Amino acid sequence: MFKVFEDYLSEKISLSPQDFELIQSVAVIKKLRKHQYLLQEGDIWTYKAFVCQGLLRSFRTDDKGVDHIIQFSIENWWAGDIESGSLGHPSKNNIEALEPTTLLLFSSKDFEMLETKIPVFKDFVTALISQSYIASQNRVHDNISMNSEERYSKFLKTYPQIANRVPQHMIASYLGISAETLSRIRKQIQKK
Amino acid sequence: MFKVFEDYLSEKISLSPQDFELIQSVAVIKKLRKHQYLLQEGDIWTYKAFVCQGLLRSFRTDDKGVDHIIQFSIENWWAGDIESGSLGHPSKNNIEALEPTTLLLFSSKDFEMLETKIPVFKDFVTALISQSYIASQNRVHDNISMNSEERYSKFLKTYPQIANRVPQHMIASYLGISAETLSRIRKQIQKK
DNA sequence: CGATTCTTTGAAAACAGTCAATCTGTGTGG
DNA sequence: CCACACAGATTGACTGTTTTCAAAGAATCG
């Protein structure tokens, strides 16, 4: 399972066998069954987690009990809660496995150690956060500038590998519309 | 004008007089009149910019010619386009001064030099991007989970210092609703 | 003061949410 | 292997919200 992460890293940066050994030495493999939670609202998140296989949703539940999906995380992406992790606050998020999922878990302490000992790794992580910020800004822009149909179409184009692995009503939740509205939008699109 | 940045940094991190001198030596003061642009769509952004005084809006214009405001930047905050800056793409954004504005401009090259020579400065900048990402994720959550009135109220509470310096229709644009709808929402709120 | 920008208002149309019912597909236990 | 339960998707009817367009008021700036 570590191989997945090794391949991922190899594509992005150049590391020595010793670096990989060091990384592997502090990586903890964690498996989640479908419907299991990696994080629950109120918990404090103190890790970094890389998804080797599977699919997770990060969401918040509002006072009416409705879920709102912040993010899907699949293979070769990261999961967790930066806000809780970096500020030490209890998390507002839940993270649930939508498929059997395998993760690599790093404690914050170990992760910092890796960043210290492997500067390119640190730079890579910094760049990653920067990328995430860019993506998030673009999502904000989509939310304020596109109508529901446009957002849905863009989602399909941008994340085809997610779109056909999660139930529709979760895509609706991610887009900020009701499941019924999404169903009707799909009907509209079909007609064309 | 550099004093503003000095005070800002002093509150966040501890730097030596030499550090400040080094920073000042590469900082370029830039003034913008109201309605002047710092960046136009299509330009490549190759700076870091700190706002000492004034107020900017970052926005994108859609194919119908409608503006959508991504961000307001005021004193003690940063402006620019990370996406263009870090990927080297032409920017999708425009940045316009809504008030007479004074900025500190750093070329990317100089900024990197500062990060290399002053590690705490680099760490601070990294943390800053991380904060921005968190804020952006929270804005996404607000967009998909709150109705217009709630978003407006939250905006007023979160950014009072922006709310009374920009025209209403720009707040509407930031929130992703029409100016007319915002006007009606305000009327609703008043009634209460 | 006059021009321009900003805000408000009204009326109609488009869009989205809610609730309840039905339909579909999948999987589990008898 | 069938029947039933369950989760997900669709549909209808209704309600509520938001947009659009046009026009009129208010505020601001040169």
Tens digits of per-residue pLDDT, A42-51? 999 999 999 9
CB of A129 less than 8 A from some CB of B: yes
Chain A nearest CA to B106, separation (Å): 18
pLDDT score, position A190:
87
- d(Cα B87, Cα B45) in Å, to the nearest integer? 10
Cβ contacts of B173 on chain A, cutoff 8 Å = 144
pLDDT score, position B191:
76
* A145 with B60: Cβ contact below 8 A: yes
Determine if the pTM surpasses 0.85: yes
Q: Is B116:B101 a contact under the CB 8 Å cutoff?
A: no
Between strands B47-53 and A101-107, the pairing is: unpaired
* A145 with B176: Cβ contact below 8 A: yes
- d(Cα B76, Cα B71) in Å, to the nearest integer? 14
Tens digits of per-residue pLDDT, B139-188? 999 999 999 999 999 999 999 999 999 999 999 999 999 999 999 999 99
pLDDT score, position B1:
84
Chain B nearest CA to A46, separation (Å): 15
Tens digits of per-residue pLDDT, B89-118? 999 999 999 999 999 999 999 999 999 999
Q: Residue A142: which H helix or E strand, with range? A: helix A119-145
Average pLDDT, chain B: 96
Preferred mutation among A93, A125, A133, A170 to probe B, highest tally of B CBs within 10 A: A133
Q: List helix spans (H) across A49-107.
A: 82-87
User: Which of helix, strand or coil describes residue B166?
Assistant: coil
B69, B83, B174: residue with CB nearest A134:
B83
pLDDT score, position B84:
97
Q: Is B103:B79 a contact under the CB 8 Å cutoff?
A: yes
* A133 with B138: Cβ contact below 8 A: no
Amino acid at B169: H
Question: What residue in A sits closest to B66 (Cα-Cα)?
Answer: A145
Q: Is B177:A143 a contact under the CB 8 Å cutoff?
A: no
Q: Which residues 54-113 of A are in CB contact (within 8 Å) with B?
A: 60, 62, 66, 68-71, 82-83, 86-87
Share of chain B above pLDDT 70, in %: 99
Average pLDDT, chain A: 96
With both helix axes pointing from N to C terminus, report the angle between A119-145 and B168-175 in degrees, rounded to the nearest 10: 110
Specify the residue for token string 């940094």.
Answer: B9
A83, A143, A173: residue with CB nearest B140:
A143
Arithmetic mean of pLDDT, A22-41? 96
Q: Which two tokens stand for residue B119?
A: 């590690």
pLDDT score, position A1:
84
Cβ contacts of B41 on chain A, cutoff 8 Å = none
Q: Is the pLDDT of residue A191 over 80?
A: no
- d(Cα B153, Cα A150) in Å, to the nearest integer? 27
Tens digits of per-residue pLDDT, A51-64? 999 999 999 999 99
pLDDT score, position B192:
67
Tens digits of per-residue pLDDT, B28-79? 999 999 999 999 999 999 999 999 999 999 999 999 999 999 999 999 999 9
Chain B nearest CA to A66, separation (Å): 9
Nearest to A37 by CA among A67, A9, A11: A67
Q: Which nucleotides of D are covered by protein (CB under 7 A)?
A: 7-13, 17-22, 30
